[in-house]
Structure 1
Amino acid sequence: MYFGKVRKPVSSRVPPNQNVTTAFPVLHYGNVPYYSDMQEWSLKVFGEVEKELSLSYDEVMNLPQTEYKNDIHCVTGWSKLDNVWKGISAAELAKIAGVKEAAKFVILHAEEGWTTNLPIDDFLKETSMLAHTHNGETLTPEHGFPLRAVIPHLYFWKSAKWVRGIEFSESDKTGFWEKNGYHNYGDPFKEQRFSWD
């Protein structure tokens, strides 16, 4: 299924103090994971859910797939417009796991213990997904293969690469960059870059 939207003029799509690029810059903390055997990879969905999940790569790829076109905005100042992502909608994963009413936040767990946090309503937005493909190409390891979050309405550090776990939580738990001075929410149109913004 493809969810397209009538596009706004570029000037209204680019947040303050962002520069549009056609490149796809690579920014991350820590090592880039490379998987020689996808049998070693799994995605866990846990916390405030009726049914905890541990999904293999093949099981993830066999879930209902969706495509979405959006713009992304990095806290370092670049924006990339009209990205087409393919993957699993965040709401679909939540439905399969049966998220409990007690869940108010989502903590994304990535390789090397990296985490980021967001309110559950942001995770469940129609535009939020777990993507394996960008603009028709399988994600490269540098961009998050085999699975990365895409939460396009927030600064792109909230779109964790190399996702291995999705935790539904009753309480907020600040992630790596949030503990190191980044804003807890990260709305690019409000320039919520740092904790003091």
Structure 2
Amino acid sequence: MSLFGGSQPRESRPDGRPRLPPGQRLTDGWPVLHYGGIPKIELPSWELRIFGLVENEITLSWEQFNTLPQKDSRSDIHCVTTWSKYDNDWVGVPFADLQALVHIKPEAQHVIFHSYGGYTTNVPLSELQGAENMLVHTHAGQPLTPDHGGPLRGLVPALYFWKSAKWVRGIEFVASDRPGFWEMYGYHMHGDPWTEERYG
């Protein structure tokens, strides 16, 4: 069986844009792509720090994170390497709920996700306000495996999937945009799949 399916149904999103962004191909699988090795993360010592331009900086343990209200979500994902996967079922905490815990300052306009292993990526705060944007620990009813970003990864389905950082350990609110890891190597600062903001 090939990685990419042959048929690509012409469906539309609620905003009128085609469901499959230009230049993308559907896959039934979930390719594993990342730079470097997979960090070894022990749940008893795992922490999520939410900091930067906030009134109430917090650090959550794994147990504390999982006591927050958990939500189910379904979304499509689109990788900059041209594969897309439809109808992914997730469980996690909406970004907006985490944002509400820290009371961000008015000057906060962007977010930097920090990962175990040193990876970072930048996302405009305005892109993170919908309920589909989450920090997730479960995919298709199973805990995320380390190669797919477990125990916790970001989920920003309106942008290319490199913006959905794996192995998240920190959320930093900042005033000015700054490049993350792949952005420093030429990837686009924004990453909209429907306008093919892959590089530059």
Q: TM-score, normalised by structure 1?
A: 0.92
Q: Which residue of 2 aligns with 1:19?
A: 25
Residue pairs, 1:110-149, within 5 angstroms: 110-149=115-154
User: Distance between the aligned counterparts of 1:124 and 1:148, measured in 2?
Assistant: 17
> Which residue of the other structure, out of 159, 163, 182, is the alignment partner of 1:158?
163
Give identity over the alignment, percent. Answer: 50
Runs ≥4 residues deviating over 6 A: none
Q: Which residue of 2 aligns with 1:71?
A: 76
Q: Which residue of 2 aligns with 1:188?
A: 193
CA offset digits 1:56-100 (Å, max 9, x no partner)? 001011101111111000000100000011100000000011111
User: Distance between the aligned counterparts of 1:46 and 1:24, measured in 2?
Assistant: 32
| Structure 1 position 30 matched with structure 2 position 36 | yes
> Which residue of the other structure, out of 66, 70, 78, is the alignment partner of 1:61?
66
Q: Which residue of 2 aligns with 1:85?
A: 90
* Conserved 8 A contact 2:53-2:104: yes
Equivalent residue of 2:64, what SS? helix
* Conserved 8 A contact 2:92-2:137: yes
User: Distance between the aligned counterparts of 1:97 and 1:135, measured in 2?
Assistant: 30
The amino acid of 1:76's aligned partner reads T
Q: Which residue of 1 aligns with 2:50?
A: 45
Equivalent residue of 1:109, what SS? strand
Q: Which residue of 1 aligns with 2:6?
A: none
Q: TM-score, normalised by structure 2?
A: 0.90
Equivalent residue of 2:117, what SS? helix
The amino acid of 1:75's aligned partner reads V
User: Distance between the aligned counterparts of 1:47 and 1:95, measured in 2?
Assistant: 14
- The count of corresponding residues between Structure 1 and Structure 2 is 187
Q: Which residue of 1 aligns with 2:11?
A: 9
Q: Which residue of 2 aligns with 1:3?
A: none
The amino acid of 1:127's aligned partner reads E
| Distance apart, 1:10 and its partner CA | 6.6
Q: Which residue of 2 aligns with 1:105?
A: 110
